[in-house]
């Protein structure tokens, strides 16, 4: 609707024959995104068969995020228990999120990075802050930089100020806020979107104090988040309300090329559907959520900008191929001065 108004205005301006102005108007409706890569951290913190729905939540979001372009190498998924191969699963090897649709969320294309008892508070914070042992494989590292947009999705059982991990320990909102601040200090994110889908989840983002963080939760403090429906052939609650409705929004309305805004995502589960009130924390986020694309966080979409202006490159940016080869020959003459073509220091982690 807004888009059509803009296009109409653009066409009206286009009568002057300035195409770039039209493009600029459309592009300028959305705030400038300064990120170059997207990462997603999807965490399911609860184990046991009766918490099937938390694993289904995470896997549903995993598929959405993958569909919108984030590759497996940039998704860290933590599942605290093995639902597909649980002895109680009457459909072994599968996880469903909908009693009618029968879409199996689990399969050979699903890459779980932290599984079972590896999902602990310590591992989660080490992942965020990057302080992992040197033997940790790349698939378990969050290799973000100052131009990464990071999506963090936490689901499980929670309470006022904490999230329960594995029925044995808890992460407090203070721990989370400090970890995010460490990330900011180390330039490990450009913008961050934190989603908490637990009971009283608004408390999880209350203590955040780092810039460029947008946060949302499925319920306010004092409210419980509710599950959506039971799959009577499996015998468990299969998905939570918040994830069900936001997923519906993501699956039906968001494509890599659409321009759905974050405000629409945040409004996608109103109180009459979610029953609990969705909480939003946007005071640390400098942009207007109505002018930020959903795909800025949920997908890896490259916005190609066409340049019609002339760009003059400085002299020392261009290396003459001949002069480069000459330099190399001179270098090989003196063996003491050996250097590699790509003399890049290894990235210190």
Active site amino acids: 157, 199
* Contact predicate 181/249, CB 8 Å: no
State which residue, 27 or 88, has the beta carbon closest to another protein: 88
Burial of residue 267 (number of CB atoms within 10 Å: 0-12, 13-18, 19+): middle
Q: How far is the CB of 109 from another protein (least distance, A)?
A: 24
Q: Give me the least distance between CB of 157 and another protein, in Å please.
A: 10
Tell me the β-bridge partners of 192. 150, 213
Token representation of residue 293 = 């694309």
Closer residue to another protein in complex, CB, 87/135: 87
Three-state SS sequence of 69-110: CCCHHHEEEEECCCCCCCCCCCCCCCCECCCCCCCECCCCCC
| Residue 218, Ramachandran bin (φ over 0: left; ψ between -120 and 50: alpha; else beta) | alpha
- Distance in Å, CB of 227 to another protein, minimum: 11
CB 158 → another protein: shortest distance, Å?
A: 15
Q: Which is nearer to another protein, 48 or 249 (CB)?
A: 48
For the chain, how far is it from start to end, CA to CA, in angstroms?
Answer: 47
Q: Please, which residue, 48 or 184, has the CB nearer to another protein?
A: 48
Structure tokens at 236: 């468990």
Residues that bind another protein (CB under 8 A): 48-50, 85-90, 92, 230, 232-237
User: Minimum CB separation from another protein for residue 273, in Å?
Assistant: 22
Question: In this structure, are residues 177 and 207 in contact, taking their beta carbons and an 8 Å threshold?
Answer: yes
Q: Taking each helix axis as running N to C, give the angle between helix 121-129 and helix 173-185, from 0 to 180 degrees, rounded to the nearest 10.
A: 20
Interstrand relation of 148-155 and 37-44 (parallel, antiparallel or unpaired):
parallel
- Name the residue nearer to another protein (CB basis): 90 or 137: 90
């Amino acid at each position: 609707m807004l888009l059509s108004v803009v296009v109409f205005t653009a066409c009206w301006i286009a009568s002057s024959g300035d195409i770039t102005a039209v493009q600029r108007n459309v592009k300028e409706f959305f705030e400038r995104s300064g990120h170059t890569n997207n990462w997603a951290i999807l965490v399911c913190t609860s184990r046991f068969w009766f918490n099937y729905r938390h694993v289904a939540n995470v896997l549903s979001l995993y598929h959405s995020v993958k569909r919108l372009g984030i590759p497996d190498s940039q998704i860290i998924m933590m599942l605290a228990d093995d639902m597909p191969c649980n002895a109680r699963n009457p459909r072994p090897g599968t996880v469903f999120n909908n009693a009618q649709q029968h879409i199996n969320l689990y399969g050979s294309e699903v890459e779980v990075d932290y599984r079972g008892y590896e999902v602990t508070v310590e591992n989660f914070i080490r992942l965020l802050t990057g302080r992992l042992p040197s033997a940790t494989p790349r698939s378990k590292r969050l290799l973000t930089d100052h131009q990464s947009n990071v999506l963090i999705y936490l689901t499980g059982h929670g309470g006022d100020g904490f999230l329960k991990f594995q029925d044995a320990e808890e992460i407090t909102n203070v721990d989370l806020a400090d970890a995010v601040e460490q990330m900011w200090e180390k330039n490990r994110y450009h913008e961050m979107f934190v989603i908490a889908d637990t009971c009283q989840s608004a408390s999880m983002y209350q203590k955040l104090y780092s810039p460029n963080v947008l946060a949302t939760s499925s319920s306010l403090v004092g409210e419980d988040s509710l599950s959506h429906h039971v799959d009577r052939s499996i015998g468990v609650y299969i998905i939570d309300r918040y994830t069900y409705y936001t997923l519906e929004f993501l699956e039906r309305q968001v494509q890599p090329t659409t321009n759905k805004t974050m405000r629409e995502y945040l409004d996608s589960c109103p109180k009459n559907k979610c029953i609990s009130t969705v909480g939003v924390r946007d005071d640390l986020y400098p942009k207007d959520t109505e002018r930020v694309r959903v795909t800025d966080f949920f997908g890896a979409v490259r916005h190609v900008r066409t340049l019609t202006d002339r760009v003059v490159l400085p002299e020392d940016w261009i290396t003459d191929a001949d002069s480069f080869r000459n330099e190399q020959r001179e270098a090989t003459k003196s063996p003491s001065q050996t250097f590699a073509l790509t003399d890049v220091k290894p990235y210190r982690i």
